[in-house]
């Protein structure tokens, strides 16, 4: 069965969702793809602390960028619900709830770990520099764990959203299929890192390509094409 949204408002919703999705790509990509890898040195608390202290504005900007991404994701979650509720309302609600839990809720709260790493280094007090450096690394490790927990929720959301796309025929089926594939990547990274952390680098490689391709395709389709009209 084909589900077609006839309202012109729905085309607008799709374009707006695409615009916010692009904003998420830019801001989250900046924070997680550039800032943290350039500052955090795994297993080296001294160098990491030095990098944070020497790049405080950049580190704070990453916090702000992530927060913008998570706020944008809340908007995307609502817009996706409006677009797909006619396909399967319970599943559209489930997808929205999972997306809201993933980054707007868990991700936003988890940002406290990111900022705490900086604050403990700039207000060492009686801790002493060495202890502050160790504690900062623990906050950063906690942030990574929180990111993976959010990723598990987001992975399930991708699977549900992918199914809705396949059933709706509002967006090319291949994008829905790619999202379902990407969902397994997110889940493998999250649960794999928790259960067999020695292979965490492998899990990271597994998730990147499917996630970028599927979400990038969805973002561009929504931004440029919107959704299919009945004539299409």
**pLDDT tens across 96-116, in order?**
999 999 999 999 999 999 999
Confidence bin at 1 (pLDDT 50/70/90)? very low
The model carries a pTM of 0.91
The residue range of the domain holding 99 is 8-153+218-224
Q: Residue 7 has what pLDDT? A: 57
Residue 232 token pair: 């299409």
Task: Give the mean model confidence (pLDDT) for residues 56-81.
Answer: 98
166 belongs to a structural domain? no
* DSSP conformational letter for 228: -
Q: Residue 5 has what pLDDT? A: 46
52 belongs to a structural domain? yes
140 belongs to a structural domain? yes
45 belongs to a structural domain? yes
Confidence bin at 3 (pLDDT 50/70/90)? very low
Task: Give the mean model confidence (pLDDT) for residues 66-83.
Answer: 98
* DSSP conformational letter for 170: S
Q: How many domains does the chain have?
A: 1
Q: Which runs of consecutive H residues, i.e. helices, occur in 123-199? A: 129-168, 173-195
| pLDDT for residue 232 is more than 80 | no
How distant is the alpha carbon of residue 40 from its chain centre? 19
175 belongs to a structural domain? no
Spatial CA neighbour of 171 closest among 204, 215, 134: 215
| pLDDT for residue 231 is more than 70 | no
| pLDDT for residue 59 is more than 60 | yes
How distant is the alpha carbon of residue 21 from its chain centre? 10
Confidence bin at 169 (pLDDT 50/70/90)? confident
Percent of the chain with pLDDT over 90: 89
| pLDDT for residue 2 is more than 90 | no
85 belongs to a structural domain? yes
Q: Residue 35 has what pLDDT? A: 98
165 belongs to a structural domain? no
Residues 6+ apart with CB under 8 A from 73: 20, 24, 99, 100, 102, 103, 104, 107
Question: Helix count (H) and strand count (E) of the chain?
Answer: 9, 0
């Amino acid at each position: 069965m084909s589900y077609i949204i006839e309202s012109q408002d729905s085309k607008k919703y799709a374009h707006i969702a695409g615009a916010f999705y692009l904003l998420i790509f830019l801001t989250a990509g900046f924070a997680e793809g550039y800032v943290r890898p350039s500052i955090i040195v795994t297993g080296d608390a001294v160098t990491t602390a030095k990098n944070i202290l020497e790049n405080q504005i950049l580190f704070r900007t990453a916090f702000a960028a992530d927060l913008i991404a998570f706020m944008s994701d809340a908007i995307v979650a609502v817009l996706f619900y409006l677009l797909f509720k006619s396909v399967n309302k319970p599943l559209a609600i489930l997808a929205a709830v999972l997306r809201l839990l993933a980054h707007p809720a868990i991700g936003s709260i988890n940002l406290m770990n990111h900022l705490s790493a900086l604050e403990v280094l700039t207000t060492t007090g009686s801790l002493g520099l060495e202890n502050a450096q160790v504690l900062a690394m623990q906050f950063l490790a906690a942030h990574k764990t929180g990111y993976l927990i959010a990723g598990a929720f987001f992975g399930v959301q991708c699977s549900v959203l992918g199914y809705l796309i396949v059933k709706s025929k509002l967006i090319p089926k291949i994008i829905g299929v790619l999202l379902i594939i990407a969902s397994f990547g997110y889940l493998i990274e999250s649960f794999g890192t928790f259960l067999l952390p020695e292979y965490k680098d492998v899990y990271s490689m597994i998730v990147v390509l499917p996630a970028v391709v599927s979400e990038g395709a969805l973002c561009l389709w929504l931004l440029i094409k919107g959704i299919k009209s009945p004539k299409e």
